[in-house]
Amino acid sequence: MTEAFTLKGPSGNIAAELVFPPSFDRRRDRCTLVMLCHGFLGSMTAAPLGFLSRVVLESGCAVLRFDFDGYGKSEGAQEDNTVPGMLEDAKVVWQYASTLPFVDRIILLGHSQGGVVAAMLAGRLEKAGTPPAALVLLAPASVLKEYARKGKFFLVRCNPANPPKYINAYGFRIGREYILSAQTLPLEEEAAWFTGPVCLLHGSWDPIVPISYGRKFAALYRNCKFHRIWGTEHVFMFHRRKVRRLIGDFLKR
């Protein structure tokens, strides 16, 4: 069962969906809720979030997924999108999730750029005394700071000290403020504030975020299990049975 709705965000309406496990009755039952954060060029249903939603549901948890501003069905201009802005979007969704009466606990799950947002949000929530129960990260894009400082995004380059209003990467507009704000993003500092259990998966063939960045990011945490998925890439198209087992086991624990 899927329930679509919108939330008022800093840059307009945020499109979101609640998806429940089979036979779940939100008026009677209670469960863990997993909040999903999609990656760059993605959406709440694009790869790999469609697959990850199914994995979460198979574990008996409910899914809360959404589109960041400027993405998918959410309002906002692509070129105005920044990682700090996405953190504000995610905070709005978290606050909504915290009010749901059928939720026992909330787990954050993020892929790529969404992994950066999930990691920073978890750290901020820990500082505020309201941390998530756990954190699942798939190929978190900690390399984005380096890309921004070099002015290099995929095959597109710009002057990092004075970027244009926006650059076009695969049809998506990366704005000037995204590039400038990413250069000084306190990613590692804030991510390390989270002290709960972390499951981090990274593909050995990832050409977007090399696996060395995943290993370094995992070392930030006190309680992190790092899994190298041999032979898969950035969106985990291969060896999904192993990915399903690792995430499913972690969520059930």
Domain that holds residue 113: 2-142+191-252
Cα 115 to Cα 8, 79, 104: the distances in Å are 22, 20, 23
Q: What is the pLDDT of residue 170?
A: 87
Sign of the dihedral defined by the CA atoms of residues 40, 41, 46, 47, in that order:
negative
Q: What is the pLDDT of residue 161?
A: 97
pLDDT greater than 90 at residue 14: yes
Average pLDDT over residues 172-197: 97
Both tokens of 156, joined, read 């597109």
Any domain includes 98: yes
Mean pLDDT of the chain: 96
Residue 125: DSSP 8-state: H
pLDDT greater than 90 at residue 168: yes
User: How many domains are there within the chain?
Assistant: 1
Between 67 and 172, residue with greater pLDDT? 67
Any domain includes 26: yes
List, as one string, the DSSP characters of 62-87.
EEEEEPPTTSTTS-S-GGG--HHHHH
Q: The domain spanning residue 22 has which CATH number?
A: 3.40.50.1820
Q: What is the pLDDT of residue 229?
A: 98
pLDDT tens digits, residue range 170-182? Answer: 889 999 999 999 9
Any domain includes 167: no
